């Protein structure tokens, strides 16, 4: 039985929150049975569909972890937030937005349809594959290592360690991703790719194969919640205007063609990936009563069993429950 609505008006202790989150994770874990792990990247099929884990980190350092938090997974589409951020920092926001729009598509992330419609001025947003591949082509550098280095540096600064690329996933995607290649060819024809196709795709596959944990996603989400400033060091890691754009895109386009429902029922900027990860970022709220994580928090979720839109099936339900109980919505 899920514990009911609490009166959060008493002092909020870590133990107390932990017991709630443990209870909720256990409750939603059975929902994993309703989903399926991604299979179009062959290695992703090896994931255990029963897993569900979450990490929540507050601005004050409160760190709640529950469920299967020790299994690393590849970041996949969540990387699109950070390639977009780095491209904006390297090339300037207006340069990037001249080449990708900020409109949701209502289509699947790997849809080609809009590229074929000649009315299109530019890819709809940086979180669909067409937009993300375009953004990756804008990154400075002559090799995939050079292009990815600023992303790795950003991660290293926030996470306190340098994450690795999962070679098996990278090779598996590189060898099977005919659709991303097709998108790449369309982008060449339309004049959007600024670096060679092979280099761009190779960089894109590698960025998607960076291995992370729910704690890593929570730390990244916390910096976004805190307007780009690292709460521990007070250093501005990402400029405010770039973070604002990234979060607006997460809210409108982050959960594929379920983004509208997620905004309506959960109400926090979030981004998911096909490996089953979700990053969410809850900004500070202004309320009289005391609520958990009132100063904002970052959340990382892992649950590889996906729903029919490609989002972690149990992860979404867990996030919805937590956001409702703790009133995390930005609206």
Ligand X SMILES: NC(=O)CC[C@H](N)C(=O)O
Candidates 263, 262, 210, 221; CA nearest to 243 is: 221
CB closer to ligand X, 294 vs 316: 316
Distance CA 202, CA 249 (A): 24
Q: How far is the CB of 79 from ligand X (least distance, A)?
A: 8
Q: Considering only residues 173, 215, 216, 257, which one is a binding residue for ligand X as defined by CB under 6 A?
A: 173
Q: Should residue 293 be labelled a site residue for ligand X when binding is judged by CB under 6 A? A: no
Candidates 127, 213, 209, 134; CA nearest to 165 is: 209
Q: Which residues are annotated as a binding site for substrate?
A: 77, 129, 173, 180, 204, 256, 274
From 20, 186, 192, 204, active-site residue: 204
| Contacts of ligand X in 259-278 (CB under 6 A) | 273-274
Q: Considering only residues 65, 66, 83, 110, which one is a binding residue for ligand X as defined by CB under 6 A?
A: 110
Tokens found for residue 318? 């867990």
Tell me, by CB under 6 A, how many residues bind ligand X.
11
Binding marks (x or -) toward ligand X, 74..93, rule CB under 6 A? --xx----------------
CB closer to ligand X, 55 vs 177: 177
Active site residue 256: yes
How far is Cα of residue 197 from the mean position of the Cα atoms in its chain? 24
| Contacts of ligand X in 209-238 (CB under 6 A) | none
The residue with its CB nearest to ligand X is: 77
Q: Should residue 144 be labelled a site residue for ligand X when binding is judged by CB under 6 A? A: no
In sequence order, the β-bridge partners of residue 58 are 297
Candidates 273, 279, 280, 282; CA nearest to 311 is: 273
Crossing angle for the helix pair 167-176 and 197-208, nearest 10 degrees? Answer: 140
Question: Each residue of 292-309: b (16+ CB within 10 Å) or e?
Answer: bbbebbbbbbbbbbbbeb
Distance CA 88, CA 300 (A): 24
From 28, 192, 256, 302, active-site residue: 256
Active site residue 80: yes
Task: List residues binding ligand X (CB under 6 A).
Answer: 76-77, 109-110, 129, 173, 180, 208, 273-274, 310
Residues carrying an active site annotation? 77, 80, 204, 256, 274
């Amino acid at each position: 039985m899920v514990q009911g609505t609490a009166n959060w008006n008493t002092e909020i202790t870590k133990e107390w929150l932990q017991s709630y989150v443990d209870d909720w994770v256990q409750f939603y874990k059975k929902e994993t049975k309703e989903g399926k792990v991604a299979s179009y990247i062959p290695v992703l099929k090896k994931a255990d569909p029963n897993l569900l884990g979450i990490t929540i980190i507050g601005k004050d350092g409160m760190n709640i972890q529950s469920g299967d938090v020790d299994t690393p997974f590849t970041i996949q589409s969540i990387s699109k937030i950070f390639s977009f951020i780095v491209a904006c920092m390297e090339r300037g926001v207006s340069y990037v937005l001249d080449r990708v729009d900020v409109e949701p598509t209502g289509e699947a992330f790997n849809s080609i349809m809009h590229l074929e419609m000649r009315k299109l001025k530019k890819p709809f947003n940086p979180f669909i594959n067409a937009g993300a591949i375009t953004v990756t082509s804008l990154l400075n550098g002559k090799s995939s290592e050079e292009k990815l280095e600023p992303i790795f540096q950003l991660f290293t600064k926030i996470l306190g360690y340098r994450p690795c690329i999962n070679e098996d996933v990278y090779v598996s995607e590189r060898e099977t991703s005919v659709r991303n290649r097709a998108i790449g060819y369309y982008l060449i024809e339309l004049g959007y790719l600024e670096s060679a196709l092979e280099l761009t795709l190779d960089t894109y596959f590698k960025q998607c194969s960076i291995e992370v944990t729910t704690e890593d996603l929570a730390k990244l989400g916390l910096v976004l919640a805190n307007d780009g400033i690292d709460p521990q060091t007070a250093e501005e890691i990402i400029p405010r205007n770039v973070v604002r754009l990234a979060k607006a895109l997460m809210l409108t386009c982050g959960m594929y063609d379920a983004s509208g429902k997620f905004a309506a029922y959960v109400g926090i900027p979030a981004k998911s990936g096909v490996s089953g990860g979700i990053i969410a970022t809850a900004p500070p709220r202004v309320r009289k009563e005391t609520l958990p994580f009132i100063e904002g928090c970052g959340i990382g979720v892992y649950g590889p069993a996906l729903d029919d839109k490609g989002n972690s099936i149990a992860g979404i339900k867990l996030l919805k429950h937590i956001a409702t109980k703790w009133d995390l919505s930005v609206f």
